[in-house]
Amino acid sequence: MTIKNQFMKFFQLKIAAIGLIMLMAVKGYGQQNIKIFGTLTDSLAHQPISFATVALINQQTKAPVKGIQTDTSGNFVLENVPAGTFTVRISFVGYNDIFKENILINAATGNLNLGALPMTASKNNSLKEVIITAKKSALKNVDGKKVFAVEQSLVSKGGNAADLLQNIPTLQIDGNGNVSLRGSTGVKVLVDGKPSVIANGDITQLLQSIPAGTIESIDVIANPPAKYDAEGEGIINIILKKNSRPGFNGSVDLAGGTRDNYNGSASVSYQSGKINL
């Protein structure tokens, strides 16, 4: 074997060795498990924040590369991170997002420990008090009688008992103030279950003298039981609010016609506690 052949063989072996070394280096780099890890805590309570979202984003393309959630101790580990420049974004409900930008990852940098990352609560995301309200049904059936809830009617803010009765189904009041139930005028009007002596028992003046704001509810009984000893076709029982003090109430009626036909009437009542005058 000539010197030239020996040199060529040595050169080929050297090239093969260098190629093998480079292949092993590239293979070794591809198998590297580069990690980015850290711990998430509350900035005030210093307690770990669990189940927060940690996202690894390519800083150039803005495309997400990897994602994970923190464990119950607030720890997170992003494994098998490729080489490149990244942004780590951490988010959780009720907290301001954390951004870690310009993170360079390659074989030289190796693993990256972000350490303890405090999250601050967001003022804009604080939950406000929630109040749930519900209104009672305006009209319901209770033990064979219809109960009208006065507070559900706009008339309860003003007006009198006669105005309220006009808004109750099955009840009618004519122009003279006469009350009828299902077409029958034989209706008995009670106040707290008893006949009232206000206006000498005149139903029209009685209804006009009771302010709507003092009434709790109105019961309409089409078929009165025996305890009411009803002589008519039905009962209207006006339930007043407890401890109400209506005070003075009154009404004035004026009428006029042709041929100097004029007349008028007035009534005044006073209630204080259990006294009606």
79-128 pLDDT, tens per residue? 999 999 999 999 999 899 999 999 999 988 889 999 999 999 987 655 56
Would the pLDDT of 41 be above 70? Answer: yes
pLDDT tens string 138-163: 667 777 677 877 766 655 566 777 77
Domains in the chain: ranges and CATH: 33-119 (2.60.40.10), 140-241 (2.170.130.10)
CA separation for the pair 8, 16 (Å, rounded): 12
How confident is the model at residue 164, as a pLDDT? 73
Tell me, yes or no, if the pTM score tops 0.75: no
How confident is the model at residue 30, as a pLDDT? 45
CA separation for the pair 167, 232 (Å, rounded): 22
* CA dist 138 → 82, 103, 110, 216 (Å): 69, 66, 73, 12
Closest CA to 55 of 102, 90, 100, 97: 90
> Tokens for 212?
């709507």
Residues near 114 by beta carbon (within 8 Å), at least 6 away in sequence: 36, 37, 38, 88, 100
SS3 label, residue 14? helix
Higher pLDDT pick, 241 / 9: 241
Quick one: what percent of the chain has pLDDT higher than 90? 29
Among the residue ranges 18-22, 118-122, 160-164, 185-189, the one predicted with the least confidence is: 18-22
SS3 label, residue 267? strand
